[in-house]
Amino acid sequence: MNDPTNPFEMMMRQAQEMAKAMNPALESFSPKGFESLWPTMPKEFMEMSFGKGINKEGLDAKTRLLITLAGLTMLGAQSDTQIRMTVRHALEAGATKDEIAETIAQMAMFAGIPSMTRAMEFAREVMDGEDEKGSEK
């Protein structure tokens, strides 16, 4: 019991060693790589699935995604992949970068400055990547 090592860190280290033993390629595994495997849904599909396709008087897909982004910001640093994917989909659904930043900034009052700052970092990664894609055209 005098071992100062965090039990969670020990468990993670053991899991990593086991994964490397089963598949050496997992040594360089990055969960962020999974994000590129999930395509951005077209705006029309999002609107049909999450927007007014279900309820004509309901929220549109862009608004629903901004609400989702607010909720993910509340979760803090544990939802980096989800935040990046939601930002990507919100942009596709028609949200502006200012609307995304304002949504995240609003959560500072409820989630705290650290959660807001971290979510903004994740959002910037996506938005900066979108700028780079746009400049290549």
The residue among 1 and 131 whose pLDDT is bigger is 131
Task: Determine the pLDDT at residue 1.
Answer: 47
Residues 104 and 69: beta-carbon distance below 8 Å: yes
What pTM value is reported for the model? Answer: 0.69
Short-list 50, 81, 49, 79, CA closest to 63: 50
For the cut 60, the answer to whether the pLDDT of residue 2 exceeds it is: no
Task: Determine the pLDDT at residue 16.
Answer: 77
Question: What does the block give as tokens for 65?
Answer: 């995604």
Architecture label for domain 37-136: Up-down Bundle (1.20)
Residues 66-116: pLDDT tens digits? 999 999 999 876 788 899 999 999 999 999 999 999 999 999 999 999 999
d(CA 97, CA 2): 50
Question: DSSP character for 58?
Answer: S
